[in-house]
Structure 1
Amino acid sequence: MQLIHSPPSPFVRKVRVTLIETDQQDAVELVDVATTPLKTASEAAAANPLGKIPALVRPDGPALHDSRVICRFLSARAGANLYPEDAIWDVLTLEATADGLLDAAVLMVYEHRLRPADMVYEPWLDAQWSKVSGALDALNARWMSHLYGPDTIGHIAVGCALGYLDFRHADRDWRKGRDGLAAWYGTFAERGSMQTTIPTA
């Protein structure tokens, strides 16, 4: 299998962490691409009609795209329990919260990177950060007992989301007022899968 990817992408990191946590990294070749919403890499377009990464190219079926689909496939392929049936709706909601946080955080990066400086719209940035803050507050207030429970895709998704905030939005200080979440992440970030996949610019 081939993973169409770019190392800075937090959604790619989520898949890579899942590969490591399920001991499948040797089954996947990493195909590095440079792609943006304004200039889609040909490999990304060939694997995903939306032109987005990550995409997982399989030898025995159509390519899979969207990190949620890929991670669920990898969990099933390995016989892992990242999506436990007895907590499935909580797990999926936690994953969606982390991914939604990332959607907003990535849009903030694109606002600066893809627009001319004189066209950057500050109210848009503020609105996106409000979404990030709301997700962080919910994680800190409602989800800590889950995060300290058995490992699921929710843990991986949240860990990668918080890592992305440190990577691209360190000046926003997401830890302030969220001691529980910050303490959890301090431990989770030390996992081998997280250390191996630390993004670079």
Structure 2
Amino acid sequence: MLILRYSPASPYARKIRIAAELLGLSERIEIAAADAADPADSLRLQNPLGKIPTLILEDGSALYDSRVIAEYLDQLAGAGRIIPRESTARFGALRMQALGDGINDAALLIRYETFNRPEALRYDEAIALQQGKIDRALGALDAAPPTGSVDIGHIAVACALGYLDLRFSGAWREDHQHLVSWLKEFARAVPAFDATKV
């Protein structure tokens, strides 16, 4: 059995859990919590970066990060199911995944800066830089949400929006009504999205 080291709040781990469900692989994956901040957690032995998600294969080797794990799961399920084979569709899906993951990267940096760092040491310019990335990405997505069959790009964008809901009280929603509608439809079409909500 495969083992997914994860944290419930991680948008990257959520992406993999949704992908596994869509690919019909959930029954083959044991979900095991990891504490990336704990030096004693075995995660650091499984993944030298100490990051989640990490997928432990049946031979004991590990795959990371979420993009690599998604590619592996897609191959395991027969290839081309959430990462299209055809070139134009493939790179469209991968580009959309990069946009979703980029929102998460920026949101996590803001979260670290505002919640982990003492207020007197916070760097407002760094927060503004990351917020700009999020705002531009949301604007682009609101103008052109993901279309077509659900693929890894759709999943990544949905998980990014879910993370913004979780950590930033859904502040993105007021100015991005097309994206709000898109996410509602995604959640309807992909029950694993609500099932993995924290």
Q: Does TM, scored on the shorter chain, surpass 0.5?
A: yes
Give the 5 Å matches for 1:32-43: 32-36=33-37, 39-40=38-39, 42-43=41-42
Task: Specify the code of the residue in structure 2 equivalent to 1:189.
Answer: A
DSSP-derived class of the 1:174 partner: helix
Q: Name 2:115's counterpart in structure 1.
A: 113
Partner AA of 1:62 in structure 2: S
Aligned pair in 2 of structure 1 residues 68, 41: CA closer, same or farther (>3 Å)?
farther
Find the partner of 2:133 among 128, 131, 134: 131
Deviation at 1:61, TM superposition (A): 6.0
The CA deviation at 1:178 is: 2.0
Encode CA deviations 1:44-71: one digit per residue, 9 max, x unaligned. 2112111111000001362000000001
The aligned counterpart of 1:77 is 76
In structure 1, distance between residues paired with 2:43 and 2:136:
32
Structure 1 residue matching 2:83: 3-state secondary structure:
coil
Structure 2 unpaired stretches of 5+? none
Q: Which residue of 2 aligns with 1:54?
A: 53
Q: State the match for 2:185 in structure 1.
A: 187
Residue correspondences, number: 193
Tell me, in whole angstroms, the C-alpha distance in 2 between the residues paired with 1:41 and 1:137.
41
1:158 matched residue in structure 2: 157
Alignment check: 8 A CA contact 1:10 1:102 kept: yes
The TM-score with structure 1 as length reference comes to 0.90
**Higher mean C-alpha displacement, 88-97 vs 27-36:** 27-36
Alpha-carbon displacement from aligned partner over 1:168-200 (angstroms, at most 9, x marks no partner): 0126x212332211110112123310111002x
Shift, 1:42, TM fit? 2.6
Secondary structure of 1:53 counterpart: coil
Q: CA RMSD in A?
A: 1.6
- CA distance in structure 1 between the partners assigned to 2:3 and 2:40 by the alignment: 15
1:88 corresponds in structure 2 to: 90
Provide the rounded CA distance (Å) in 2 between the counterparts of 1:71 and 1:7.
Answer: 17
The amino acid of 2:119's aligned partner reads A
Aligned CA distance change for structure 1 residues 177 and 116 (closer, same or farther; 3 Å): closer
Cα distance in structure 2, aligned partners of 1:41 and 1:72: 29
CA distance in 2, matches of 1:91, 1:41: 37
Q: Which runs of 5+ in 1 are unaligned?
A: none
Displacement after TM superposition at 1:97 (Å): 0.7
Higher mean C-alpha displacement, 48-57 vs 108-117 = 108-117
